[in-house]
Amino acid sequence: MNHGGRAHSARGSLRTRARRYWQGVRPALFALAVGLVIYYVTAPSSGPEVGTVAQDFDLALTSGPGKRFRLSDHQGTPVLVEAFASWCRACRNATPILVEAARAERAREVRFVAVGVNDSPEDASRAAQSWGIPYDVAVDDGSFARSYQISRLPTILLVSAEGKVMHTTTGRVGRDQLESWLSEAGAARKN
């Protein structure tokens, strides 16, 4: 008995069904990809509006019990804030540029603070250690993300010495862009 013809026919039928399936799925995947691009291009940016007065915040630091970061304690000094999460790959990728900027000698002091959003204190602390963050790391209790309208991570913003939001961006900030921001705040990198 020869079953070779039936096996060949079954394989051909399977290939035909798979081809039809992918012909139907490809347009759906393409539409999904286009939709995601449109969303990220047209979605409102994350963070407060540039030129507005920065809302004061008072958050627990991961460096020890009772230690806190209050924005109002740094009046007169520019403050660079990064909203991040330990699980956020884009946040991790943005960190080296921020760390380099924080370690650079500057014309004036700039305070850097990372605020862990949707993170436990332990996760935020582990991320800070693993990513080599040398500046303060605070943990959001929900009030920071609400008042600063954080909807995407990382969100990076610069608060002027006078307490106004100078710049804000979502995603990885470029080295030149960050240095330009800091120069505008009077904190240019020293050579």
Output the tens digit of pLDDT for each of the chain's 191 residues: 555 555 556 666 777 877 777 677 777 777 666 665 655 554 556 889 999 999 999 999 999 889 999 999 999 999 999 999 999 999 999 999 999 999 999 999 999 999 999 999 999 999 999 999 999 999 999 999 999 999 999 999 999 999 999 999 998 899 999 999 999 999 999 97
Q: Which distant-in-sequence residues (6+ apart) come within 8 Å of 26 by Cβ?
A: none
With the C-alpha atoms ordered 60, 64, 69, 73, is the resulting torsion angle positive or negative? positive
Residues in contact with 29: Cβ distance below 8 Å, sequence separation at least 6, in sequence order: none
Range of the domain at 64: 58-184
Neighbours of 158 (CB within 10 A): 24
CA torsion angle for 60, 173, 100, 132 (degrees, to 10)?
A: 50
Classify residue 49: in a domain, yes or no: no
Residues 88 and 172 in one domain: yes
CA 54 to chain centre: 19
Task: Give the helix ranges, DSSP H, for 43-186.
Answer: 89-103, 121-131, 143-147, 175-184
Q: What is the DSSP-derived secondary structure letter of residue 43? A: S
CATH number, position 147: 3.40.30.10
Q: Within this chain, do residues 94 and 127 fall inside the same structural domain, yes or no?
A: yes
Same domain for 158 and 120, yes or no, is: yes
- Total-model pTM: 0.77
- Shared domain for 26 and 109, answered yes or no, is no
Note whether 89 and 173 are same-domain residues. Answer: yes
